[in-house]
Amino acid sequence: MPKEIMKHLVPILSFIFGQSVLTKKLWPEYEIVDEDEGEFGAKVTDDSQNNAMSLVSRGKADDSMDSIIDGFKMDIDKRTFAIFEERRSRAPDQVLRYCRSSTAKPLWPMFSGRLPKADIPSCKHCGGRMIFEFQILSTLLYYFGVDNGRDSLDWATIVVYTCESSCDASVAYKEEFVWVQLY
C-alpha cells in the first residue's frame, strides 16, 4: 500500500471532522498490512468456525447469509448492508480498502447516501476523470477506541477519488475528492 495514503489520512480526517475531534486523545499506532482480499476467500480459522454471529463460513456465503439477503429484497439499505457485511467478513479487521483502477468501485455499507457517478467532479488540475482509489471503513473507529456517544466521531465509509491520469506530478499536494457516507 502506498505510504502516501497513510501520510494523508490524518489531514483528511481533520478536514472532514475538524481538528478538535481528532486531538481529544492520542490514537494508538498500528501497522497496516496490505493483503489481497482474494487471499481471504479460502482461509478458515478456528475463530470463524466457532463464531455463531458470523455471516460467512469457509469463505463462501452460507445458507443463512443467502436467507438474510433474500429477506431484505424490499429494503435496499438493509440488503446493501448485508452484502457489505458478507464481503467485509472475508477480512473483518480491515480498515482501509485500496484499489486504484478505473474499474474499481467502493464497497458501500448503505444504498442511501451513495455518491452518484455523475456527482464525481473532474480533476481541478487537468479536467480529467477522477476515479475511486481508496476508502476508509468505520472499523477504524473501533481500533482508535472511539466511543459511540452522540457527539463522537462516526461515519459509514469515507471514499477518496483521485485523478485517473495522476496529473501534475510537480505539485506536492493536490486536492482530491472525498465523499463521506454517514449512518
pLDDT, tens digit, 9 for 90 and up, residues 71-119: 656 688 888 888 888 888 888 888 899 988 888 899 999 999 899 999 9
Q: Which residue has the higher pLDDT, 148 or 52?
A: 148
Q: Is residue 131 part of a domain?
A: yes
Q: Is 138 part of a structural domain of the chain?
A: yes
Q: Which residues lie closer than 8 Å to 162 by C-beta, 6 or more apart?
A: 100, 130, 131, 133, 176, 177
Query: Phi and psi for 171 in degrees, rounded to 5?
Result: -85, 125
8 domain-assigned? yes
What value, to the nearest 5°, has the Cα angle with vertex 33 and ends 7 and 97? 70
Which of the pair, 61 or 167, is modelled with greater confidence? 167
In a domain, 119, yes or no: yes
pLDDT, tens only, 140-163:
888 888 877 777 788 899 999 999
Residue 43 lies in a domain: no
pLDDT at 169 over 70: no
Would residue 149 count as lying in a domain? yes
Rg of the chain, C-alpha, whole Å: 18
Residue 78 counted as domain residue: no
Q: In terms of pLDDT, which residue wins out, 33 or 168? A: 33
- Boundaries of domain holding 113: 3-19+94-181
Name the pLDDT band for 58 (thresholds 50, 70, 90): very low
Whole-angstrom distance, CA of residue 163 vs CA of residue 129: 6
Residue 114 lies in a domain: yes
CB 159 within 8 A of CB 138: no
Q: What is the number of structural domains in the chain?
A: 1
